[in-house]
Amino acid sequence: MEDGLTHFFSLTQAGATEINSQLHNTKIKNMDRRKLFKNGLTLAGGTLLASAAGARIPGQETGIGGLVQQNTSSTTPGKRKLGAKLEVSCIGLGVQNMSRTYQTTIPSRTEMHNIIRTAYDKGVTLFDVAEAYGPLECEKILGEAVAPFRNKIVIETKFGWNIDPETGQWSQPGLNSNPEHIKKAVEGMLKRLRTDRIDLLYQHRVDPQVPIEDVVGVIKDLIKEGKVLHYGLSEPGVQTVRRAHAVHPVTAIQNEYSLLWRGPEEKIIPLCEELGIGFVPWSPLGVGFLTGAIDANTKFAQGDIRGGETRFSPENITNNLALVEVLKKWAEKKQATPGQISLAWLLHQKPWIVPIPGTTQMAHMLENTAAYEVKFTADELKQFNTEIAAIQIKGERLPSFVASLSGVEAPPKK
């Protein structure tokens, strides 16, 4: 999702119809969200769950609008801190697409290793993955790649789905944050990642069947055992964050956030500031849109989740492309690319925000990493924000059945 995304939902028409019917007829407060995944909904890895950002459509290796890629050879990202103690590079790398791209192609495993290792050579120390990506396969790819320098980086991964940690098969569709399942999931992660600990472990989505106190309780046990060092939540409800933080300090929240989707600014980012929690945006490049890779003529591949996002529908995309035009203008002014301007803007929001753009292209990784060098003066940032504020993005960021998994509050502890 940050994105040359690889993992995606495969929907049959019957499955989609059933999901929409359930959403319409069920009260959200008491909804059993596991039902959303039955009758034809298969999680092939999790385009919706993501952590990859920056996919361009093949063939667009140079800058948008004729711009040449800038500053991709010497940059070394600075350091930032997530929570009270976890120091990472200011830009990370999402590896979600490295087993299968948005367009459903299978990347070269050797080249994925090369991209990960080159990112490390360029100063990247935060690498993002999840059991759902593959499923399981992206954790294996990352573990293979980082073995020579494992102790010098931070690995973050995610649990929370009904995935067999040995086979990658779904025991039944949907979420699963039951404590015993979490323990088994972590054991599988450690094996695939070839490590003895997970630096930052996220709950991928809040499970509406399991109190967050139970989830954090088992994570605390894993921390005492040395198998987990820090933990976080992805796309959680605000009260769930507060409850989790009261049991054990939350290190980071991971939500979609970019110039294309600024929803977290309303509640989640202020909450992170209040509680001292780091913020890790997934899809910081708007699933490739903010790089200029998507336009009014773009046709999405079969199975590409972006084809179901109404922000890219014919009736909305022309309006939304005004945002890209602003980025192109500033890219030319800054001798950068639209994607670099987008990432630089994120870095200027808060000193504890760390985007994790993902890609399967070496050139894109180098470009994304170099965004650290793009700086705004106070006056420039004010002018940029004024121009952006004049554009109202139309359409939804995700299909409704996927969006319904975000902002969920865990049930109360009885």
Query: Which residues are the active-site residues?
Result: 133
User: For residues 286 and 342, is the Cβ–Cβ distance under 8 A?
Assistant: yes
Phi, psi (degrees; rounded to nearest 5) at 215: -65, -50
Contact residues for 279 (Cβ-Cβ < 8 A; gap 6+): 252, 253, 254, 255, 257, 264, 268, 269, 272, 350, 352, 353, 354
Among residues 54, 60, 67, 91, the alpha carbon closest in space to that of 333 is found at 67
Among residues 27, 48, 31, the alpha carbon closest in space to that of 397 is found at 48
**Dist CA 139 CA 154 (whole Å):** 13
Place of tokens 């924000």: 385
**Dist CA 37 CA 401 (whole Å):** 9
**Dist CA 31 CA 101 (whole Å):** 32
Among residues 4, 8, 6, 52, the alpha carbon closest in space to that of 398 is found at 8
How crowded is residue 305: how many other Cβ atoms within 10 Å of its Cβ?
A: 24
**Dist CA 403 CA 20 (whole Å):** 12
